[in-house]
Amino acid sequence: MHIKSTVIDSLAHVVPPEVWTSTDIEEKLKPLYDRLHLPEGRLELMTGIRERRFWNHAIRPSEASAEAGIKALEKSKIPPDKIEVCLHCSVSRDMLEPATASFAHRLMGLSPNVQVMDVSNACLGFLNSLTLLSAMIDSGQVRSGIVVSGENGKPLLERTIQLLLERKLTRKTIKPYFANLTIGAGAVAAVVCHESLSPNGHRLLGGVCLADTSNNDLCQGDSNAEGFGYEMQTDSEEMLHAGVSLARRTWESLKSELNWQNDDADRVICHQVGSAHQKLLFDTLGLDLKKAYSSFQTCGNTGSAALPITLAKAEEGGFVKKGDLVAMLGIGSGLNCLMLGAEW
């Protein structure tokens, strides 16, 4: 997909204040660790995640999204009353109906002359939203819009700790719940517009998406049958290898689409799963890890917000600079892979 005239005008993120370390989680799981003779420190050792962040009060995804959205609007050259599209793209949502975007739209104080909708695609929702909004801008339907995501993994983590302690699981049967212990929280937003409205904006160049739905059973989450909350199970090892295999094919297609070689990307931002995923991904794609910026060590996996939060942090810290060619390597359960190129 070629993107002709769309730029990211501003990018902003919110990191919650409450810190849960991997040691904290293992302490909560001490009865399980003692019963199964699990070594302390394995959670951080296997993932590279030292800690993750949560809000220390009850919060709706729309409230988190709106906080990031207001920050992005304050940084933007686009007045809030000129925003024409509001896309909310997190895995977390306020409720099934109405769209969480409608709550975020109201909290941000946007105009009534706005298309308001949710875009849901697991951890890939933010990049999907960028491509959808870009298509609308390139086609002339609209001139500007905002993409927001607010992820709160605390209820899933607390529910996972509860069931790991309640159920008589074995070393084998705890494995599908391991990925849940890496989840964090955060919010992010991007104001996106036609290049004529933001001449110094970060230009989206194009992207490629591929699907491998034969592996849609590797990570599945839903409300449980008893109505006691959200549960998720993941075949982490199979997910890792199937995801990286799909990423390899997508990367080759992206290079062809953008006429890039591996060395052309100055900075590479990928989905934040953990250290094993990042190393295997970069090794398989033949990319230099020195070009990567990571946030999983201190934020964990924040779902659809993970990649754009990492990009926002990289820009904020000066790792991504004006003129850099940036590769965004997104993936989500399903499996779906979307990669975008941008000139910062």
Task: State the fold for domain 202-343.
Answer: Peroxisomal Thiolase; Chain A, domain 1 (3.40.47)
**Is 97 among the catalytic positions?**
yes
Confidence (pLDDT) at 230: 78
List the structure tokens of 259.
């006429």
Confidence (pLDDT) at 157: 96
E-strand ranges in 202-260 read 202-211, 219-223, 230-234
- What number is the average pLDDT over the span 40-47? 95
pTM for the predicted model, two decimal places:
0.95
Note the pLDDT tens digit of each residue in 260-316. Answer: 999 999 999 999 999 999 999 999 999 999 999 999 999 999 999 999 999 999 999
Note the pLDDT tens digit of each residue in 129-144. Answer: 999 999 999 999 999 9
C-alpha–C-alpha distance, residues 343 and 8, integer Å = 10
Quick check: helix, strand or coil at residue 141?
A: coil
Confidence (pLDDT) at 95: 93
- What number is the average pLDDT over the span 314-320? 97
Note the pLDDT tens digit of each residue in 201-215. Answer: 999 999 999 999 999
Predicted confidence (pLDDT) at residue 335 exceeds the cutoff of 60: yes
Confidence (pLDDT) at 323: 96
- What number is the average pLDDT over the span 53-71? 96
> Among all chains, which residue has been given the structure tokens 């794609």?
285
C-alpha–C-alpha distance, residues 250 and 8, integer Å = 23
Which sign does the torsion angle of CA 230, 160, 53, 295 carry?
negative
Classify residue 82 as exposed, middle or buried by CB count within 10 Å of its CB (0-12, 13-18, 19+): middle
Cα separation of the two ends of the chain: 19
Residue 82 CA: distances (Å) to CA of 110, 243, 314: 8, 39, 28
Confidence (pLDDT) at 226: 55
- Mean pLDDT across the chain, nearest whole number? 95
Residue 142 CA: distances (Å) to CA of 5, 86, 103, 104, 255: 12, 12, 22, 20, 29
The catalytic position among 26, 44, 63, 123 is 123
Note the pLDDT tens digit of each residue in 83-141. Answer: 999 999 999 999 999 999 999 999 999 999 999 999 999 999 999 999 999 999 999 99
Note the pLDDT tens digit of each residue in 232-266. Answer: 999 999 999 999 999 999 999 999 999 999 999 99
User: Where do the domains of the chain lie?
Assistant: 202-343
List the structure tokens of 38.
């699990």
Confidence (pLDDT) at 287: 97
Residue 162 CA: distances (Å) to CA of 24, 29, 110, 168: 14, 9, 40, 12
**Is 84 among the catalytic positions?**
no
- What number is the average pLDDT over the span 221-232? 71
Using pLDDT thresholds of 50, 70 and 90, give the confidence band for residue 222.
confident
Query: What's 170's DSSP letter?
Result: -
Residue 144 CA: distances (Å) to CA of 7, 101, 131, 193: 10, 16, 13, 4
